[in-house]
Amino acid sequence: MEQNTHRTILRARRRGRKPAGNSPVNAASGSTSPKVVTKRRGDDDEHEGASSLKRSKIEETRRELEKLQIDCTSFRQKWEEEQRKRQEAEMKCENFQQKFLDEKKAKDDALMRLSSLASSKLRDNNPNIADLSDQNRPTKIAEKMSELYDNEWTDAYDDLEKNSSGTDIISILLGVLKDTFDECRKLAVDNFFERIEKAIKYPILEESDTPVACELPNEVKQQIKEYRKLKSPKYMDRIKNILKNKVTLPSNSEDVQKYFRECVEVCWLAAVQDPPLHMRFKVINRKFNSEIFRDYIARGPFMDFMVWPPLFLKENGPLLSKGVAQGCKKLQ
C-alpha cells in the first residue's frame, strides 16, 4: 500500500502536478470528496438562481418597454388627432372671421354709398352744406388762394420787376389769373353735360358742332359732378397742359411758370365746385370796401386799382377770402 502511494507521488511530480495526497481525490478510489461535490452543487444552484432572476427582470423590463412603446404610439396618435382637430377649428375660425369681415365691409360700403348719396343730394347746388372730409372744399380753396398771393405771386412779381414797373406787373399777374379762371370755367361748365351726353349717344362719331340735348337725370349729373371733384387733384397735370397753350405768360422764368401752375390748380378746384366758386375781377364800385378788400400799400376811401380778386362761395354769394386793392384819397 505504501509502495503504491509512493509511486503515485512520483508520477505526479514527473507530470508537474501536486501529489495525489494533497488533492481531495480519495487515494484508494480516485473519486472526489463528498463535501467538495456538495459545495459545487450549491454554487451551481446559486449561479442558476441568479441567472434566472436576471432573465426574469430582463423579461419584465422588456414587457414594460413594449407597453411604454404602445402607450407612446397611442399618445402620439391622440396628439396628432388633436392637432388635426385644432387646425380644422382654426381654419373654420379664420373662415368665419373672414366672412364676418367681408360682410361687415359690404355693410359699411352700402352704408357709405347710402350716406354719400343722401349727402350728395343734400349738397346738390347747395354750397352752404360742406363736406368736412373733403380736403378741397371751398374754405380750403380760399386758403390756397391766399397762399398763392402771399408766395407765388410775390416771387413772380420780384422776377418781373427787373424789366417792368410795379403797376404793369400787377396788371399782368392779375390778367394771368383772370385768363386762367375764365378758361377753367369754360372747361368745367360750358356744355359739360352735353359733351357727356354726346359721348354716350355717339361714341364713334367725330367731334362736331351738332347740338345734343342733355337727358341725363339729375341724380346722374350730381354723381358725375361729385366724381369729377374727387378726381380733380389726380388729373391736375392734364388741365395744366391744356391751359398752357390758352393763357399767355409774360415770361418763361421758373417763378412765373410756378405762379401759373398754382393759378391753374386754384382756379380748376374752384370751377369744379357745385356751384362753382366765383372770383370777382370787375370793380363794381370805386368806393373802397374794407369788407371785401384789404389794403395793398396806400389806404384811402376810394379804390385806385385792384391787385388781387376776392373769392366768393358762388356768384353773388358769401365771401370766402378778401381781395387786395390799392386805396387813394380821391378819384382820378
**Full residue range of the structural domain in which residue 273 is found:** 138-328
Residue 61 burial (10 A CB sphere; 0-12, 13-18, 19+) = exposed
d(CA 5, CA 28): 9
Q: How confident is the model at residue 27 (pLDDT cuts 50, 70, 90)?
A: very low
Is pTM, for the whole model, over 0.75? Answer: no
| Backbone torsion region of residue 278, taken as left when φ is above 0, otherwise alpha when ψ lies between -120 and 50, otherwise beta | beta
Q: Does residue 100 sit within a domain?
A: no
**What mean pLDDT do residues 55-77 have?**
88
Residue 216 burial (10 A CB sphere; 0-12, 13-18, 19+) = middle
Q: Does residue 2 sit within a domain?
A: no
How far CA 73 is from CA of 84, 287, 306, in Å, comes to 16, 102, 95
Q: How many domains does the chain have?
A: 1
Q: Does residue 277 sit within a domain?
A: yes
Intra-chain end-to-end CA distance of the chain, in Å = 181
Q: Does residue 212 sit within a domain?
A: yes
For 150-183, how does the pLDDT look when each residue is reduced to its tens digit (9 = 90+)?
999 999 999 999 888 889 999 999 999 999 999 9
Sign for the pseudo-dihedral over CA of 196, 202, 203, 208:
negative
Residue 280 burial (10 A CB sphere; 0-12, 13-18, 19+) = middle
Q: Does residue 133 sit within a domain?
A: no
Q: In what order do the strands lie in the sheet containing 293-295? A: 293-295, 323-328, 302-308
Residues of the chain above pLDDT 90, percent: 42
Angle at 59 between CA 55 and CA 65, to 5 degrees: 145
Residues 326 and 297: beta-carbon distance below 8 Å: yes
**What mean pLDDT do residues 281-288 have?**
89
Q: Does residue 318 sit within a domain?
A: yes
For 174-224, how does the pLDDT look when each residue is reduced to its tens digit (9 = 90+)?
999 999 999 999 999 888 888 888 878 777 655 556 667 778 888 888 888
Q: Does residue 35 sit within a domain?
A: no
How many CB atoms neighbour CB 271 within 10 A? 24
For 98-129, how does the pLDDT look when each residue is reduced to its tens digit (9 = 90+)?
989 898 888 877 776 666 555 555 555 555 55
pLDDT greater than 90 at residue 7: no
Q: Does residue 10 sit within a domain?
A: no
The candidate with the shortest Cα–Cα distance to 280, out of 325, 217, 237, is: 325
The one-letter amino acid code at 192 reads: F
